C-alpha cells in the first residue's frame, strides 16, 4: 500500500497494490500496521455500506462529541468524488477541503479523521460505498453542514441541477455553525498517539 499525505496533513489517501489476472483480483483493503505507522492506534468498531445512483450526494456529515467518528472510506463499485472539510476551530486549514476520486477499479481509499465533515457524490451510474468507523453511529449526535455552502467553495464536478440530496441534507446548517471541534483537542497526534514502535 502507498500512503499519500493530502494538502491537509491529517487526511490521507491510500492506494493499495491490486493483483489481477484472468481469474479476478486480490488486494489488501486494510492493514493495522500501516494505520499505526501513519495515523496511530485506531480501533474500528463498525463497518457501513451504501448504494447510491448517479448524482446522489450524501453529506456533508459528522457526529458531535462524544460520538465523533474517524472513517476509512472506499468504493466497492463505481466512482465517487469524496470530500473532507476541516471544521476544527483554530486549525491552520479551518474551512478548507480536500477531495479524492475514489474508484472501484483502483480500490483507493481515504482516511477522514474526527474533526472533519465528510460527503461524497456519485459520478458513475451507481456506486457501492463502504467505510470503517472508530465509533458507533449515534443518531442523536448526527449532523452536518450544507453541501453547497458558498463559504466552502467545493467544486462537486457535476451541475447542481443533476445533484440529488436527501430532505435532511437539503436543510443542513451553514459552515460556521460547526463549532464543536477545538483544534488542540482534535489534532491527529492527540487523538491517536503513536505506539513506541512507530514513534
- Please report whether residue 199 resides in a domain: no
79 is in an annotated binding site: no
Q: Pick the catalytic residue: 61, 97, 99, 186?
A: 61
Provide the domain count of the chain: 1
Q: What is the pLDDT of residues 34-58, one digit of tens each?
A: 999 999 999 999 999 999 999 999 9
Confidence class for position 196, pLDDT limits 50, 70, 90: low
- Please report whether residue 90 resides in a domain: yes
149 is in an annotated binding site: no
Q: What is the CATH number of the domain that holds 148?
A: 2.60.120.10
Separation between Cα atoms, residue 150 and residue 193, nearest integer Å: 35
Q: Is 97 a catalytic residue?
A: no
Confidence class for position 198, pLDDT limits 50, 70, 90: very low
77 is in an annotated binding site: no
In 3-state terms, the chain is what percent helix, strand and coil (to 5)? Answer: 15, 40, 45
Q: What is the pLDDT of residues 134-172, one digit of tens each?
A: 999 999 999 999 999 999 999 999 999 999 999 999 999
- Please report whether residue 196 resides in a domain: no
CB 144 within 8 A of CB 175: no
The answer on pLDDT for 199 being more than 70 is no
Q: Is 131 a catalytic residue?
A: yes
- Please report whether residue 170 resides in a domain: yes
Comparing 38 with 178, the larger pLDDT belongs to 38
* Predicted TM-score of the model (pTM): 0.93
Amino acid at each position: 500500500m502507498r500512503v499519500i499525505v493530502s494538502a491537509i496533513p491529517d487526511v490521507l489517501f491510500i492506494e493499495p497494490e491490486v493483483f489481477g489476472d484472468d481469474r479476478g483480483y486480490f488486494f489488501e483493503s486494510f492493514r493495522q500496521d500501516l494505520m499505526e505507522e501513519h495515523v496511530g492506534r485506531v480501533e474500528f468498531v463498525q463497518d457501513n455500506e451504501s448504494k447510491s445512483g448517479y448524482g446522489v450526494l450524501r453529506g456533508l456529515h459528522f457526529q458531535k462529541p462524544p460520538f465523533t467518528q474517524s472513517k476509512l472510506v472506499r468504493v466497492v463499485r463505481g466512482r465517487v468524488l469524496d470530500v473532507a472539510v476541516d471544521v476544527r476551530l483554530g486549525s491552520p486549514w479551518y474551512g478548507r477541503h480536500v477531495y479524492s476520486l475514489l474508484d472501484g477499479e483502483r480500490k483507493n481509499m481515504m482516511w477522514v479523521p474526527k474533526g472533519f465533515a465528510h460527503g461524497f457524490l456519485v459520478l458513475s451510474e451507481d456506486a457501492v460505498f463502504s467505510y470503517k468507523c472508530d465509533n458507533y453511529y449515534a443518531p442523536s449526535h448526527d449532523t452536518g453542514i450544507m453541501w453547497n455552502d458558498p463559504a466552502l467553495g467545493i467544486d462537486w464536478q457535476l451541475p447542481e441541477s443533476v445533484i440529488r440530496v436527501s430532505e435532511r441534507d437539503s436543510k443542513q446548517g451553514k459552515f460556521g455553525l460547526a463549532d464543536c471541534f477545538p483544534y488542540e483537542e482534535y489534532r491527529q497526534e492527540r487523538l491517536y498517539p503513536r505506539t513506541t514502535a512507530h514513534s
